[in-house]
Amino acid sequence: MPCTDGAKQASRDFSSVRADKAKMQQRLLIHHVAVSSLANRKRLFNSKTTEFRGEIIMEWGMKNRLSRLIQKDGKALFLPVDHGYFQGPTHGLEKPEETIKPIYQYADAIMLTRGVLRNCIDPAIEKPIILRVSGAVSMVGEDLSNESIVTSIQEILRLNAMAVSMSVFVGTKNENKSLSNLAKLVDECEDYGVPVMAVTSVGRELEKREPRYLALVARISAEIGARVVKTYYCENFRKVVDGCPVPVVIAGGPKTETQKEVFDFVYDGMQAGAIGVNLGRNIWQTENPVASIRAIRGIIHENYTAQEALDLYNQVIAGKA
């Protein structure tokens, strides 16, 4: 059979693929041996002081980031201004820098995308950043659940994010894609000690505020490796918190009719075991965002009741606090 130049080239290509594969297998073997020997060392010296040093350093990074987000009292107030990633210049967020300027000092962290971070936020800001890294959908597109990861791990580190967040959609046709995206993101971020927050949702066909569905998506997200879960408040919220082995924060959803409604559900959620909120529109779309965030902060960090929060809200508006 004649051996053409094309066939020779194909054979050379094939050999080089095989050589690459062999090199890769060798590297994996070395890695496996190294990891096993570290695991054995850890088993042999079953004491905190003899743990592998690299492991302590990696744990330290994760703990350090989480402790900048979740305060010493174990509570947290995250301020999300990421809505433009699928809603465009939505009401109240047309100029994100102007929206956050009067209120961010009352938040423990700000959640946004890299585009808003780079263009609208002073790099000298001291507040920790939670970087939203999923998207590539829009509110006029076919399916909001069809998200991809849109930010690389290099960018996450370059922007000094304290955590990342991504949406998880259970009960939709993109359930598997979204949960697989979460798994990949967790794998990448855990390598560098960056916590992942799952922003959980359920499909439209499921009752959005039903505890069994919210508990389902919260638990699945934690099982896949999310370090924090964001969910919506619902009746019997304790069921969601109790079934989720990682800290839970509550989102606000669309603006409510009255401020008291927000203070009520934040208070109830905290009583049920949430560690705080990731709450946007019910702060920055309200008539007085400073009064709103200060009152919510009162519930989270000062143990205020909903009524005490409302009193503070009114005092701030009246210029008395």
Q: Which of 23, 48, 95, 230 is catalytic?
A: 230
Query: Both tokens of residue 126?
Result: 């001291």
**Which residue, 111 or 189, is less far from ligand R5P as judged by CB?**
111
Of 99, 145, 278, 292, the one binding ligand R5P by CB under 6 A:
278
Return d(Cα 152, Cα 283) in angstroms, integer: 30
**Which residue, 219 or 230, is less far from ligand R5P as judged by CB?**
230
**Amino acid of residue 309:** A
Q: For residue 168, list its beta bridge partners.
A: 200
279 binds ligand R5P (CB under 6 A): yes
Return the residue matching tokens 């989480």.
66
Helix (H) or strand (E) holding 204: none
34-42, 91-99, 235-243, 245-253 -> range binding ligand R5P (CB under 6 A): 245-253
For β-strands 163-170 and 129-132, DSSP reports them as: parallel
Of 269, 280, 289, 298, the one binding ligand R5P by CB under 6 A:
280
Return d(Cα 295, Cα 225) in angstroms, integer: 32
**Which residue, 72 or 228, is less far from ligand R5P as judged by CB?**
228
24-32, 63-71, 141-149, 272-280 -> range binding ligand R5P (CB under 6 A): 272-280
252 binds ligand R5P (CB under 6 A): yes
Q: Which of 79, 130, 76 has the alpha carbon at shortest distance from 247?
A: 76
251 binds ligand R5P (CB under 6 A): yes
Of 69, 100, 111, 170, the one binding ligand R5P by CB under 6 A:
111
3-state secondary structure of 55: helix
181 binds ligand R5P (CB under 6 A): no
Of 83, 114, 219, 227, the one binding ligand R5P by CB under 6 A:
83
Q: Which of 132, 129, 78, 81 has the alpha carbon at shortest distance from 106?
A: 78
44: exposed, middle or buried (Cβ count in 10 Å: 0-12, 13-18, 19+): exposed
> Measured from the CB of residue 166, what is the shortest distance to ligand R5P in angstroms?
9
Using alpha carbons only, give the angle 256, 253, 108 rounded to the nearest 5 degrees.
105
82 binds ligand R5P (CB under 6 A): yes
- Check if 177 is active-site: no
Binding positions for ligand R5P, rule: CB under 6 A:
80, 82-83, 111, 199, 251-253, 278-282
Enumerate the active-site residues.
230
